[in-house]
Homo-oligomer: A and B are copies of this chain.
């Protein structure tokens, strides 16, 4: 369930604020969801609340972390150490949320031996060795679009079955491999779409002539 990480973050916030117990209503408002939906989601995990009382923040937090699988650290490899790759490698949030960046790989020799966030940048061809030695199951692609499919193929080839793709390209992967995509342009375009509707903009640029049916 894609909302579990959101609940986990909300529970972390409550725990940081020193809250020991919370109702579904309270947690739902922190997480920004409907309380009935929250209760239904949680009921899929088991019966971790107490009727008339609510949820123990620490206990529920652990149960959700266990359900997601972030009670242990997941080794992660990042491929493509350009601006975005470097930013990802430097992102401290990964470490505290159950992930450990074990290798940074890049096809460009000029980037090798560079150190980003304390990790050395290595040749892309080290992929298979790193994945084997470190037991990597999750790969992050931060390369240009043209390279993304090749990187994905190599990742799949050496046993990675979960890929987070930042390259603006649709990846073809075999059954059983999960790909999640973060596409910055698409996020902005969705905002632009809504923004245009708010502003009541009407486009007055010339329309290209229709070609189907003619010629």
Q: A91 with B83: in contact, given A66-B203, A182-B182 (CB under 8 Å)?
A: yes
B138 close to A208 (CB less than 8 A): no
CB neighbours (8 Å) of A4 from chain B are 189, 193
Stretch at the interface among A35-43, A49-57, A118-126: A49-57
A188 to chain B: closest CB distance in Å? 5
A8 to chain B: closest CB distance in Å? 7
A55 to B8, CA, bound (A): 45
Is A72 part of the contact surface with B, judged by Cβ < 8 Å? yes
Number of copies: 2
Is A102 part of the contact surface with B, judged by Cβ < 8 Å? no
B184 close to A5 (CB less than 8 A): no
A111 to chain B: closest CB distance in Å? 15
Q: How large is the interface on A (under 10, 10 to 19, 20 to 34, 35 or more residues)?
A: 35 or more
Of B180, B189, B210, which contacts A56 at CB under 8 A? B210
A118 to B192, CA, bound (A): 24
A183 to chain B: closest CB distance in Å? 8
A27 to B9, CA, bound (A): 38
| Chain A interface SS verdict (over half) | mixed
A181-215, CB < 8 A from B: 182-196, 198-199, 201, 203, 205, 207-213
A20 close to B211 (CB less than 8 A): yes
CB neighbours (8 Å) of A183 from chain B are 5
A91-113, CB < 8 A from B: 91, 93-94, 97-99
CB neighbours (8 Å) of A9 from chain B are 168, 185-186
Chain A interface (Cβ < 8 Å from any Cβ of B) = 1-2, 4-6, 8-10, 20-21, 30-32, 49-50, 53-56, 58-59, 62, 66-72, 74, 76, 82-84, 86-88, 90-91, 93-94, 97-99, 137-138, 140, 161-164, 168, 170, 176, 178, 180, 182-196, 198-199, 201, 203, 205, 207-213
Q: Identify 12 new A-B residue pairs, CB closer than 8 A, beyond the known A5-B183, A55-B212, A74-B188.
A: A4-B193, A5-B185, A30-B170, A53-B213, A56-B210, A58-B208, A67-B193, A70-B189, A91-B184, A99-B185, A138-B191, A161-B195
